[in-house]
Amino acid sequence: MDIVDIATRDAVEVDASQRLAKVRGVFEHENPKGVIVTDDGYEGIITEQQLLQSHVEDSTKVGAMVESAPKIDRSSDVRDVARMLIEGGTKVAPVFENDDHWGMITADAILDAVLDNLDVLSIEQIHTDSVVTVTEDTNVGRTINLLRENGISRLPVLNENGRLTGMVTTHDIIEVAVRDMDKPTHGDRAGDRERMLDIPVYDVMQSPVETIEIDRSVRDAVEVMLEHDYGGLVVTPTDEEDAVAGVLTKTDVLRALTFTEEEYLDVQITNIDLLDTLQREEIRRNVEQVVEKYQRMSVQHAHVRFQKHKEKLRGTPLIQCQIRLRTNRGQVAGSGEGYGADSAFRVALDRLERNVLELKGTRSDEQYKGQLLRKLNKL
């Protein structure tokens, strides 16, 4: 299946020299998933989430906010586009035909197009089962650190009995922070920020939280996410709606669409544009070497995610790297930070190897891998 009938021509373009006030007006009146930014050619995109997550003056030029996104050919295969969106760290990308901007493709459009095929997959097969959680009294400062350290955008919230009571996302925290910054003040702004960081998550979380049972199909989950515009759902054990078995996101589903039957380890990289001296093949080879040390462990898929922070050292940005392996006995991950992608990757790889060591006694389950791939290849 290719995206020729999935991509939309309803793409809005703005010049990089325009002010953000114009873009805010576009999102308010036309409600697009993203806006294409041009400057004598394609420059990148701006999404509504970017605007919500930044407290930038309306007089700022659009070019200062632009983010890179892959250029998608209109005849590309859905699997290839899903991979490009994941590696670009975006849910929106421009579509081109013969080097001319033609329209736009979104993750939602892809998921909607393959919806009828997703009932062959269960949530248990592709969800993230190693979940970071917080409690209701965890403060916002600690929550921000957990989101950053783990390279994630949402955390289930548990009460004192370990039962699910809510969900907190980066959007929830940013919304509170921006609202606080918008209040007129005659006091100490730094003190205001400190007080905000001390707020318990209970005061900013979403509750009740949307959940889905682990034995349901991926189609059921995607229908809920598309209907309510959720980025992800908390996965619960069967008949136990206030316990946490994992999390399923739209990105998890997109990633499942890209699984292949290659003989070598399939490694996906998110935010590949942050690589400096590293090469894709070097990353794959290093991850594969860690896996091969423990041959009794069967790995179906590997995901390497890079994220850039504002902090720099002699011009080199602080990078966070997370490596996650999906194995026959669940998931194992390693994360680390360093100045530059190479440094961050080495730290994450070292921690991954330590964690893989704990799984060295697991038994291979090639049957699971074969079943999953056969189901996905029917799409």
Q: Tell whether omega for the bond before 317 is within 30 degrees of 0, i.e. cis.
A: no
Using a 10 angstrom Cβ sphere, with 0-12 exposed, 13-18 middle and 19 or more buried, the burial of residue 17 is: exposed
What was the pLDDT predicted at 83? Answer: 86
What was the pLDDT predicted at 12? Answer: 81
Rg (the chain; Cα; Å): 21
Q: Name 45's bridge partners.
A: 36, 67
Token reading at 87: 């590696």
Closest CA to 217 of 3, 2, 375: 375
The domains of the chain are located at: 12-107, 123-254, 261-376
Q: Does residue 357 or residue 111 have the better pLDDT?
A: 111
Helices (H) and strands (E) in the chain, counts: 13, 16
**pLDDT tens track for 126-163:** 888 878 899 999 999 899 888 877 777 889 999 999 99
**What single-letter DSSP state applies at residue 118?**
G
Q: Which CATH architecture has domain 261-376?
A: 2-Layer Sandwich (3.30)
What was the pLDDT predicted at 53? Answer: 59
Closest CA to 253 of 106, 377, 86: 86
Compute the average pLDDT of residues 223-243.
Answer: 91
Is the separation of the CB atoms in 214 and 123 below 8 Å? yes
Q: Which range is least confidently modeled, 92-101, 184-193, 226-235?
A: 184-193
Q: What is the mean pLDDT of the chain?
A: 82
CA 234, CA 210: separation in Å to the nearest integer? 7
Q: Indicate if the pLDDT at residue 372 is higher than 80.
A: no
What was the pLDDT predicted at 213? Answer: 95
Q: Indicate if the pLDDT at residue 98 is higher than 80.
A: yes
Is the separation of the CB atoms in 214 and 103 below 8 Å? no
Is the separation of the CB atoms in 46 and 56 below 8 Å? no
What was the pLDDT predicted at 327? Answer: 73
Positive/negative CA dihedral, 141, 152, 283, 351: positive
**pLDDT tens track for 37-54:** 888 888 888 887 676 656
Confidence of residue 307 (pLDDT cuts 50, 70, 90): confident
What was the pLDDT predicted at 170? Answer: 82
3-state SS class at 248: strand
Domains 12-107 and 261-376 equal at CATH topology level: no
CA 283, CA 268: separation in Å to the nearest integer? 10
Give percent above pLDDT 90 in the chain: 27
What was the pLDDT predicted at 362? Answer: 45
Give percent above pLDDT 70 in the chain: 83
Fold of 12-107: CBS-domain (3.10.580)
Confidence of residue 363 (pLDDT cuts 50, 70, 90): very low
What was the pLDDT predicted at 54? Answer: 62
Mark residue 89 as left, alpha or beta (left: phi above 0; alpha: psi -120 to 50; beta: remaining).
left
Q: What is the three-state SS of 164-181?
A: EEEEEEHHHHHHHHHHHH
Superfamily of structural domain 123-254? CBS-domain (3.10.580.10)
Q: Tell whether omega for the bond before 156 is within 30 degrees of 0, i.e. cis.
A: no
Token reading at 108: 């939602």
Q: Name 318's bridge partners.
A: 339
CA 232, CA 331: separation in Å to the nearest integer? 18
What was the pLDDT predicted at 359? Answer: 64
**pLDDT tens track for 60-71:** 888 888 887 888
What was the pLDDT predicted at 339? Answer: 94
